[in-house]
Structure 1
Amino acid sequence: MEKVRVFLKKTWVKWSLVGIAAIILFFIILYACIYFGMFGKLPTHDEIGSLKQAEATQVLDKNEKLIGKYYIYDRQPLEYEDLPKYLIDALVATEDARFYEHDGIDNVSLMRVFFKNILLRDKSAGGGSTITLQLAKNLYGRKNYALFSMLINKFKESIVAQRIEDVYSKQEILTLYFNTVPFPDNTYGIESASQKFFNKTASKLTVAEAATLVGTLKANTYYNPRIFSENSKKRRNVVLNQMVKYEYLDEARSERLKADSLVLKYYSFNHDVGLAPYFRAQVKEQLKDILKDHKKPNGDAYDLYKDGLIVHTTLDATMQSMAEEAMRVHLMKLQAAYEVSHGNNAPWIANKNLIKKAMMALPEYQRLKKAGVSEEAIEDSLSVKREMEVFTWKGDTTQMLSVKDSLQHYLKLLNTGMLSINPKTGAIQTYVGGIDFRYFKYDHVSQSERQVGSTFKPFVYTAAIENGMKPCSYYSIDAVTYTNYKNWTPTNAGQNPNAKTDINYNLEMALSNSVNTIAVKVLNDVGIPNVLKQAQKMGISKKLPAQPSLALGVAEISLKELIGAYASFVNNSYAVKPYMITRVEDRNGKLIVSFEPEVMEKPAYSDYTRQVLMQMMKATVDNGTASRLRSTYNLNNAIAGKTGTTQDNKDGWFVAITPNLVTVTWVGNDNYSIGFKTTALGQGANSALPMFAEFYQRLNKDEKFNDITKSQFESPSADVLSDMDCKLQKEDGFFKKIFTSKKKKKKFKGN
């Protein structure tokens, strides 16, 4: 005892004890300061008990398949029952082997971290973080402090962790952890990670896949399986070894799993990529308006990015995938032929005025111009080359390009719009707004209005039949000059100038072969006001030009309005309004708002008129301008339709009508000054029709869509068949040939 007293009286011992006491006192004081909120308020037990983390809004297709999200942090919550046991085992074995034994803090490991941080100044000191401590960090984050930042954060997390353990069971803690822990690629929660990296729900993960994702928690970037697959595989194997070590997995099975390769099915929910990005962008815009009129029960506004809403849509993800693939296959071929046809004198190369005008529209040009920079200096600035990622059909490439080079590259690219709806309801089944949303944000389905060309002709013929014209009315194909419309003389595309001009077509032949001269004559006889009224009854709200060229489709109409009008031909004469959202629910599945199909209140025309027009448009596919659907693409389905091409081959259109699906496709250049070089290439039958054909071929191969592909049109009535029972064409009689002038002039009767 005396020796002990003597030892304690030694100066160095006294100071050592004082030092230890000071350190302990420092810890106590620091802990007390943190506990009482001097370094920021800590969450109370009640606040922890009512945790509500920001959740991504989910966008589901008609079959409730996840097709997209809107989020700040990509997070999707699950219940404990949704977590596979081996996923939980992998986490516990790797991150916190004594998770079920402690109260949230592993004191031995935690003290090691404290002393490493203070005495050894090791800022990378790790270890000691239990699952509950990690959860505390995930939920409340960390702050930077001037001194002892790591120590203060660890103390704060230990206090929060103990409170979490007081409030929640171990199962609830695991559930909270899996719903909040960050995974690679800005992904939060196991469900989002599972969907992103393996395209499946977490409940269906395999043991190896679960081990892969748990392995990424050590270092999100270094073990990201998308970027560093070999690192990820090695880490996966470490997790499997840990599972064996703690007897969650037998060694033989572990060895088999480690021998397997790492196979990802990566599916990004990034707003710009993934399935149906144009559709998802349009849904988001509609949701913003919808949510303005609907509040939470407490009166607060819904947050699209944080409140975990569930948006049910009309889209069919499988059909959408087929439509996008069909678009890529066709546009890749068409773009190549388009560039070859233009050759070295292509407008994006040789037309200096076109290039200059396009350049002046660039934001960068306008910024420099506003700053007072000279034209020469602006030209020099926009000609400086730099590394730039650009879109090509062979894949994205990085090239040394100037702004001017980039402009010319994008000027040559064709773009497209494609829309398919259920004609009975207007429910949108597929939606392709352009060739690539990353580079082309402009949506050709919802935003664009282009001249519709000959796809307007069925409206003219509908008005004619509805106003008493007989299907077997005959019109000469001869050109007529309309003297009171600046001597305008519409002609027929591709008509041989030496061909016989004394031929008369009935209405079926005229429409199925898209004869311009007859379409204008029919418009003349039925009257422009009646055609305008008929188009309006069919859901066309756009103000249309009251002039004879209306018959040839000079009106600019959106794909949505056009397809809604065409739907009436297989919807008992009722036009529809395309829609994409069926209902919106809160995170708990409680209904916020639902939507019903919007169908016109009255039929747009009689059953008789509808059946006549359907016979005419079936003839378009069987024998007319769309016959390559039969001859080239071997589609034997029940299909009616109409092709369309605008002046100077600027736009190519095709509308396909089947009993349970109506599809519109459009192709053209975003710069309206640039058209196709030839009609053979630019006509709707070549530029737009093949996209539908490629799409429908894919539908035919999938029995899931038999209700669409094997459906049949209704049989026309006896009256319709009788009234259409006449020759498709006939020549002028002997006396008419003698007394008819070769050059015809006519004063137009329309208003």
Structure 2
Amino acid sequence: MASPTKKTKKQDTGYGKYIIGFWTLFGAGILLIIFIFLLAGWGAFGKMPKFEELENPETNLATEIFSSDGQTLGKYYNENRTPIKYEDLPTHLVQALVATEDERYYKHSGIDAKGTLRAAVYLGERGGASTIPQQLAKLLFTQDVSQNFVGRVMQKFKEWIIAIRLERQYTKEEIITMYFNKYDFIYQAVGVRSAAKIYFDKEAKDLKIEESAVLVAMLKNSALYNPVRRPEMVEQRRNQVFKQMEVNGFITSEEKDSLQAIPMKITFTPQGHDEGIATYFRVYLQGFMRDWIQKNPKPDGGEYNIYRDGLKIYTSIDSRMQKYAEEAVEMHLSHLQKEFDRQNKTNKTAPFRDITPEEVEDIINRSMKVSDRWRKMEAQGKSRDEIIKSFNKDAEMRVFSWSGIKDTIMTPRDSILYYKSFLNTGMMSMTPQTGEVKAWVGGINFKHFKYEHVKQARRQVGSTFKPFVYATAIDQLKLSPCDTLPRNHFTIEAGRMGAQSDWSPRNSDNKYGGMMTLKSALANSVNTISARLIAQTGPRPVIDMLNKLGVDTRNMPEVPSISLGTADMSVFEMVSAYSTFVNEGVYVKPVIVTRIEDKNGTTLYQHVPETKDVLSKETAYVTVNLMEGVTQSGSGIRLRGTWAGNQDHYKRAVTGYPYDFKNPIAGKTGTTQNQSDGWFMGMVPNLVTGVWVGAEDRAVHFPGITYGQGATMALPIWGIYMKKVYADKELEVSQGDFPRPDNLSIETNCGLYNQRNSRDQGIPDELEF
């Protein structure tokens, strides 16, 4: 019989085995976890980031475009991300993030042991365990998440290791900043700064606490918690953020209740490449940047990338003036388009006029061949007949209208005719003394009308060309605005000055005889007097002067008919050339970019003004004085609130009339043959603005001069724009006199004779060609 002592010893020995086994297994488990951590750190479960990558994580930064008044005009990006500094994050935004996503953020070193244990015990039902560093690790380096269990476990180990490394490498504030800069809030809003602009149309630093809570609510799953599509769900999640902020002591219970009672409100402002302000300008700026990049490599010899290098482009555009210009275009053209459509109802070849059915087919066929539909179908190997046939099949489409995007069904061929029927515009505003372009409107809607009408398009300029003829005559012959010339018929014979046949221009009012001052003749666009002037100067000196004014004259015909505006020029060229008159004869090359910086703020480019003396101060001033007559008694008198023609017709075609300006304004209207192009160039001492209006095809135009002249088509846009500009006192646009040079030898004060002469003759409906 065994003794009790021996029995007890055997029992103890048995328990000891279990205890030893438990600790052995526990130790082995710890070692296994450590080993797995080591394997993950060595990259056995996939590529791990190098130290240098943690030091400079890939952020794919958008290039940001700034206006001269410090506003963001737009961005170039693959991902719409613009970085923000920690000090620009609102305190309540950081508090909402910590309270909702990582309560013990400031107490752990990358892994929240308590949260991890809770998640393991309750299988995630009482909250997850991902800390802010873990979420950042996932955003930065581990996007390709495996769908199987083992893969997800390995993924979690990698996240833990990266989170620990992030904690060692960065401060708590830097990690929060990186997280907010990296998170994708959808709708091309990558990073909290982009999200603040897109969802609330403001900078992140200006967010209210209820707005910050919305963005933090989206962090759970931005695709699911989408404030545009699921506002009720996001509001509920926002209110939970307030609850978490109360639990963590960031707000009181009373504040939580008040905040939860506030209805959620967003100001959705998409920032796609086709949206926002200055869209046409931003596309032109892309071309500028491509040219600059080719000539300016990185220090390491590489090439800058505007879609990922986070450049900062500072432009001359003023966001307020740009906004006023776009508003003026919409206000007038949406109104004028109604009249245009009304007059086309009885037009059997609408929207075209004065062309044959064969010519109409040619226009349509050309449009088909340059369309995206043709290009895509051709790439798919479709035959020409198959492609043409597809243009005659009904299709659902969304089309532009002035009342908003319209869902409709029409054939692609009919959609071509539909878009051809719209009047379009080009408008540019510039400070003549500095060359800074302040506003640039290249068309009515970039998404639907890609062709740009400030720099790309060149159209006949009509009578807006005449000041160049007058300026040349003043420069050569020292003529005065008070000098008179006969208004009678005038012929330049074939062979003289390049004329291929006898050229006898006619006046728009069919009135001839008598004498007129130059000021009255320019104000009323008297063609015979313009012809007399170019007969004295010759076409070549006019063309040479235009070349000095920055105009591309290579294809400009050296014939006397250019005096009436038969040449094609761009709005860009016209504004910069006219600016020379205001700038006392000094041409300043237009500037659109003043500075370029890299993502660290290092200046890569600084604009240096380019100037050229073209005219004497006296000639420039006298030319401006001549053009003041246009708004005092000529076709631009409508800016003064009066008009000698049929005011009922005029009011039906324009908006904002009467404009009732009292300050000095120099300008010139222009209308081309068959009313295909309407122009107005308007100048005050420190701002020159040009406006062109017409359709894409010159065969699309008004049937008559009443609505088809520059004073009706283009001048109202200038009037509306300048009303808005003058109402904004911060812009400091001049309402004073044009600077008069000292010792002026040419007489410009013609007394009342000029005005009386103009009134006696009436203000004709101009037909300038």
Residue of structure 2 in register with 1:168 after alignment: 170
Contact 2:188 2:272 in 1 (8 A): no
2:735 — aligned with what?
A: 710
Corresponding residue for residue 82 of structure 1: 88
Q: Look up the SS of the partner of 1:665 in the other structure.
A: strand
Q: Is the 8 A contact 1:422 1:662 kept in 2?
A: yes
The amino acid across from 2:81 in the alignment is R
From 644, 652, 662, the counterpart of 2:678: 652
Q: 1:609 aligns with which of 602, 613, 619?
A: 619
Is contact 1:512-1:619 (8 Å) kept?
Answer: yes
Separation in structure 2 between the aligned mates of residue 342 and residue 243 of structure 1, nearest angstrom: 63
1:625–1:114 Cα change, 3 Å: same
Q: What does residue range 115-514 of structure 1 map to in structure 2 within 5 Å?
A: 127-145=128-146, 147=148, 148-345=150-347, 347-348=349-350, 352-361=357-366, 362=368, 363=371, 364-365=373-374, 373=383, 375=385, 377-468=386-477, 470-471=479-480, 472-484=482-494, 485-493=500-508, 495-496=509-510, 499=511, 501-514=512-525
SS at match of 1:692: helix
Structure 1 match to 2:57: 51
1:519 equivalent in alignment to 2:530: yes
Against the structure 1 CA distance between its residues 189 and 234, is the aligned structure 2 distance closer, same or farther, given a 3 Å change threshold? same
Superimposed CA distance per residue, residues 526-550 of structure 1 (whole angstroms, 9 cap, x where no aligned partner)? 2112222222233323222111210
In 2, Cα distance between equivalents of 1:107 and 1:250: 28
Instruction: Give the length in aligned residue pairs.
Output: 716
Range 104-113 or range 722-731, more displaced? 722-731
- Determine helix, strand or coil for the equivalent of 1:510: helix
**Separation in 2, partners of 1:45, 1:365:** 51
SS at match of 1:638: coil
Amino acid at match of 1:710: Q
Task: Kindly state the Cα deviation for residue 475 of structure 1 after the two structures are TM-superposed.
Answer: 2.9
Distance in 1, Cα, partners of 2:384 & 2:109: 71
Residue type of the partner of 1:100?
A: Y
Q: How many Å separate the matches in 2 of 1:4 and 1:628?
A: 112
Amino acid at match of 1:421: M
TM-aligned CA deviation for residue 582 of structure 1:
0.3
Is 1:584 matched up with 2:596?
yes
Question: Is the contact between residue 187 and residue 270 of structure 2 (CA under 8 Å) also seen in structure 1?
Answer: no
What residue identity is the alignment partner of 2:629?
Answer: A
CA contact (8 A) 2:618 2:744 kept: no
Deviation at 1:652, TM superposition (A): 0.5
**Residue 103 in 1 paired to residue 109 in 2?**
yes
For residue 582 of structure 1, give the secondary structure of its aligned residue in structure 2. Answer: strand
- Residues 503 and 729 of structure 1 are in contact (CA less than 8 Å); yes or no, is this contact kept in structure 2? no
Q: CA RMSD in A?
A: 3.1
Structure 2 residue identity aligned to 1:558: S
| 2: CA distance, partners of 1:591 / 1:311 | 10
**Is residue 492–residue 535 contact of structure 2 (8 Å, CA) maintained in 1?**
no
Q: Cα deviation per residue 1:578-608 (whole Å; 9 max; x = unaligned)?
A: 11000111122111110122222x2x22222
Contact 1:574 1:599 in 2 (8 A): yes
1:634-656 CA distances to partner (integer Å, 9 max, x unpaired)?
11122100001111111100000
Partner of 1:540: 551
Instruction: Work out whether residues 677 and 692 of structure 2, in 8 Å CA contact, stay in contact via their aligned partners in 1.
Output: yes
Assess, with a 3 A threshold, how the Cα gap between structure 1 residues 518 and 698 changes in structure 2: closer, same or farther: same
Shift of 1:8: 12
| Amino acid corresponding to residue 470 of structure 2 in structure 1 | Y
Check conservation: 2:595, 2:605, Cα contact below 8 A. yes
Contact 1:641 1:656 in 2 (8 A): yes
1:598 aligns with one of 607, 610, 616: 610
**After superposition, what is the alpha-carbon deviation per residue over 1:375-432, rounded to whole angstroms, capped at 9, x for unaligned?**
5x54432121222111100101111122112111101011100000000111000000
Q: Which runs of 5+ in 2 are unaligned?
A: 1-7, 495-499, 642-657, 758-769
CA–CA distance in 1 between the matches of 2:119 and 2:410? Answer: 52
Change (3 A) 1:617 1:133: same
CA distance in 2, matches of 1:267, 1:53: 23
TM-score normalized with structure 2 length: 0.87
Q: TM-score, normalised by structure 1?
A: 0.89
Q: Which runs of 5+ in 1 are unaligned?
A: 732-751
Aligned partner of 1:42 in structure 2 is 48
One-letter code aligned to 1:135: L
Q: In the alignment, does 2:681 pair up with 1:666? A: no
State how far apart, in whole Å, the 2-side matches of 1:367 and 1:311 are. Answer: 35
What is the deviation of 1:663?
Answer: 0.1
Query: Which position in structure 1 is the counterpart of 2:746?
Result: 720
C-alpha distance after superposition, 1:168-193 (max 9, x if no partner): 22222212212222223232222221
**1 CA distance for matches of 2:259 and 2:76?**
35
SS in 2 for 1:542: coil
Shift in Å, 1:227: 3.2
- Give the deviation of 1:130 after TM superposition: 0.8
Give the partner amino acid of 2:564.
L
Aligned to 2:760: none
Percent identity at matched positions?
35
Q: Which amino acid aligns with 2:673?
A: Q
Deviations 1:689-720 (A, max 9, x none): 00000001111222113x31433212476633
Equivalent position SS for 1:191: helix
